[in-house]
Structure 1
Amino acid sequence: MQHFSIAAIPGDGIGPEVMKEGLKTLRKIEELHGGIRFSIDVFDWNCHYYLKHHRMMPENGLNTLRDYDVILLGAIGTPEVPDHISVWELILPIRRTFQQYINLRPIKLLKGLESPLRYKNHSDLDFIVVRENTEGEYSNMGGRLHENTPYEMAVQNNVFTRYGTERVINYAYQLAEKRKAKRLTAATKSNGINHSMPFWDEIVKEVSSLHPSVQTDIYHIDALAAYFITRPEQLDVVVGSNLFGDILTDLGAAIVGGLGMAPSGNINPEKAYPSMFEPIHGSAPDIAGKGIANPIAQIWSIGLMMEHLGFEEMNHLVVSSIEEVLIEGMIGTPDLGGKNKTFELGDAIHKKMQEVSVQHN
C-alpha cells in the first residue's frame, strides 16, 4: 500500500465547489486502484482569510505545506481583494518556495466536444504547453516613484537567469522526446524585446543541440498566437516564458472548450518539494454558490497529479472517463451546453470511472 499526503486549498468562489468533486475523485481512485491511500488535510486559506487576518495564509503556512506530497488548489480571488494580493501572497510564494518551476498545461480537445475552430478536430488539438513558472516577467522586481504626482512612474523588471531558462527548456525537450511527434515550438519576441528574448533564443538553440531527434521551431509570440488558431495540428510541445506561457494557455483553453476544460500542474520535477495541481480557471464570483461550475478541470488536474506520482494509468482512466461522459452528452454544466449541477457532472464522471475500470479488468 502506497500512502500520499495531500494539502487541499479550496480557495474562493467556485473553488470549494469544484474541489469537493476533486476530493471525491481521489476517493474513487483509492477504491479502484486498491493499492493507494490518500491522507487529505483541507486549509481554508483564501481571500476571506485575508480580510480577517490581513494575510493570505498563516505566517508558518509554507512550512506547513512543505512536508506534503502534493498540494491541490481550487481557485483564488474575490472582488474585495485585489488580484496582486491574492496571487502574490499565496499562489506565487508556493510556486517559488517549492521550486515548482514547470507549469504544465495540456491543450487537448476531448472527444464529445467541438472546438470553436470550425475546421479543427480532436486530432488537430492535442498538444502541451510548458511554461516557466518562477521567474521571467513575474519576478516581482521594480517599484513606483513619485506616487500621486504628475511625474508618477512604475518600473517592472524581468529576470531571466541561465539556470532557470535552461532547466525549463531542457524539461520541454525531454518531454518532446517522449512524444510521438518529437517537435518543440519556443515562444519568443526577440524582435521587440532586445535583451531577455535574444537570451532566451540563444539558450533554446544551445539546448536543442543536445536533443537532435526533436524538431525545433522558434516563433514570435504574436505569430504563435495566430498559429494556435490557424494550424494547431503542427504544435506538440510549446515552451514559453512565464508571461507568454500564461497568455498562450488561456488562448489554448478557449479553443478546446473553455477554462472549465483546462487543468494544470505546477511541477517540481525533482520531487524535492510538493508539486501543486489546479484548474486554470479563476474563482468565477458571478456563478459562485449556484452549483453550476464545471468540475472537469479540477478532476483532470488530479489526473495530472496521479501521473506525476507515477500512476499514468490512473490519469488515463480519469481522462477517458471524462471523455465517455462528454460523448454520451447526457450530463453537462451550462458552459458545456447542459443544465446540470456541478455535483451531477462529478458523479457522472466517477460512475464512469467505475465502469471503465471494470471493462479494462
Structure 2
Amino acid sequence: PAEIRGEFQPIPTNVADIQICEHLPRLAAIMDKLVPLRSVYGSPNGAHDSHICYTGRAKVNEPKGGWPAFGPCVSKILGPANSAVPPFIGLSPDAGHPPYGSPGLPGFLGVAHAAFRPSGPARDDMMLQGISSDRLADRKSLLTSFDQIRRDLDANGSIAGLDSITQQAFDILTSSRLADALDISKESDATRERYGQGDPKNFGDGAPRNLEHFLMARRLVEAGARVVTLNFGRWDFHSNNFSGLKDTHLPQFDQGLSALIEDLHARGMDRDVAVVAWGEFGRTPRINADAGRDHWPQVGGGLVACGGFRTGQVIGATDRTGSAIADRPVHFGEVLSSLYKFLGLDTQHVTIPDLNGRPTYLVDGEHFPLPELG
C-alpha cells in the first residue's frame, strides 16, 4: 500500500514476477543471478549488533569467550588456502558505533582466528622496509627462542594464538601476494570505473560507502582468502529515510554489489565464491513523523548470490504491509548453514571445541541449509 511503501516505486527485473526498488536498477538487471530473502528473522531485540549476521546466534547462553563468527570458524577448521594470505580478512574499518565496524569476532576461538584487518596505515607495514629475507629469518629464530621460555606459562592459548599471528606476519612479509591483492591500481581503468569509488570516509558513526572494497574483496578471494567481510554505509534512517537512501546509499550499493556479482560471473568464479548482503533487522513498515523508519526485528531481508546456488528466485514473503512473515521464515542460522555447506562443512556433524573442550556446533542444531538454494 502507498501509505506503507512511501515515495519509492517498484520496478520490474529481468526475472518475471520479481520486482525490487526503483533505486536498484543494476541489481534489477541481474536478478537471474540473485536470490532475495524476504522473510529473515532471528534478531533478538532490534538492537544494533552485527553479531547475529556473523554467527546466526543471539547473545544468550554464550559459552566463555563468546560465540565465534563465521570467518573465525572457517579459519579454525579449514586454515589458510595460501600461507601468505590470511583465511579470514575483514575490510570493515572501525566505526563510531562499534557494532557497525565489526568484521565478525573470534569468540572462544581467540586471537589466532580473528580477522586480519588491512585498513589504514597498517597496509604499509605489510612490505619489508630495507630488511633482507635472511635477516628477517634470523629475527624470527631469535623471537622463537624467547617465546619458548614462556610456553609453559600459557594456560589459555594466548601464546599459541600469538605464535599463529607471528607466523602469519612472517608469511605476509616475505610474499607480495596479499599486498598485491589489496592494490586495486593493478586493475584496468574500465574495471575500477565499473565498481566506482564511493566515499572512503565513515558515514556518521557508521561505515564508509567505499565501493573499492567490493573490488578489493574479489581480489582477495582470488589471492586465496576464504572469507572476506565488509560493511557499507549507515542504514539507520530514523529520519529523512527517502532522501538519505536515494541520494547516496541505494545508488552506490547498487553499483558496488552488482559490479562484484557480474565480475565473479565474468571471471568464472561464480561457483567458487558465495555472496551474502544483509543487516541485522528490518525497518518499520509505517513511516514515522520524521519521514524515517525505525527498528523492526520481526522481519528483515537479505540477498544471496553466486555460490552455485539456484538463483533467479525469491525465498520467503511478508504480508501486504511488510509487517510479518507470511511464507517461508528464514533464520540467520539457515543462511549461515548454507554458507558452511558451500564450503563443504556439514553443520549437523562438524564441531569445534570451546574453552572447556566441549564440542560445539557451528550453528544451532535446528537450522539446516536452505534446500531452495540447491
How does the TM-score come out when normalised to structure 1? 0.31
Larger RCO (alpha carbons 8 Å, 6+ apart): 2
More strand by share: 1
Larger helix percent? 1
Largest Rg, 1 or 2: 2
